[in-house]
Amino acid sequence: MFLEALIFVVTLGGMLLIVGYTMVTGISPLPSSRLGHELVRAALPAELEGTVVEAGSGWGGLARSVGRRCPRARVIGYELSPLPWLFACVLQWLWPVPNVEFRRRDLRRVSCSDAAAVVCYLHLEAIRELEPRWRAELPPGALVVSNTFRIPGWRPSAIYQPPVRLDAPVYVYRIPQAYCGRVEARS
């Protein structure tokens, strides 16, 4: 009886944490599909060096996958929601990918000034909020790889279309070509 009550309390607490942070961040920690992982990995050169930022790393699967794809890069997954972040840390502790780490931080307070690439699976509102910082901070030549959502006003240098139409494309942008000559959206 005690074990069942403990499991119930832990499960309820976890669900409340996820719901609470979903309200704070505006999106639930939803993992990208396997095909989404494959397309994001394909968009990144295996010889990539420097820092790769995964913006909103959730449960950690994509950051770990990118770390295996780009072994010379340092992959940092940022996640604000405590339960997915903790899960990613435990997964990393049990089955480490040497060049991957997870940090619990608010993306709006993370600098991308030394990033060689930013990888994200974020909703459009979050992308709109982060776009001015990426434009201001990312160095020339840096990549932004967005699973599912285009960056408004930016021109992708490549679009990886999934073979199955049930899945979404992956958009690849290179700084500064992504926003040269961009047209500001009118409200």
Say how many C-beta atoms besides its own lie within 10 A of residue 14's C-beta. Answer: 14
* Number of structural domains found in the chain: 1
Rounded Cα–Cα distance for residues 89 and 73 (Å): 19
Q: How are the residues of the chain apportioned to helix, strand and coil, as percentages rounded to the nearest 5?
A: 40, 20, 40
Q: Answer yes or no: is 54 within a domain.
A: yes
Say how many C-beta atoms besides its own lie within 10 A of residue 153's C-beta. Answer: 14
Q: Answer yes or no: is 75 within a domain.
A: yes
Q: Answer yes or no: is 182 within a domain.
A: no
Range 170-184 average pLDDT: 75
Say how many C-beta atoms besides its own lie within 10 A of residue 32's C-beta. Answer: 23
In tens, the pLDDT along 99-108 reads 999 999 998 8
Q: Answer yes or no: is 157 within a domain.
A: yes
Q: Answer yes or no: is 184 within a domain.
A: no
Predicted confidence band of residue 179 (pLDDT cuts 50, 70, 90):
confident
Range of the domain at 47: 30-174
Phi-psi region of 93 (alpha: psi -120 to 50; beta: other; left: phi over 0): alpha
Q: Answer yes or no: is 180 within a domain.
A: no
CATH code of residue 50: 3.40.50.150
Q: Answer yes or no: is 63 within a domain.
A: yes
pTM of the model: 0.82
Range 77-90 average pLDDT: 92
Nearest to 43 by CA among 120, 167, 145, 112: 145
Range scoring the smallest mean pLDDT among 5-14, 85-94, 144-153: 5-14
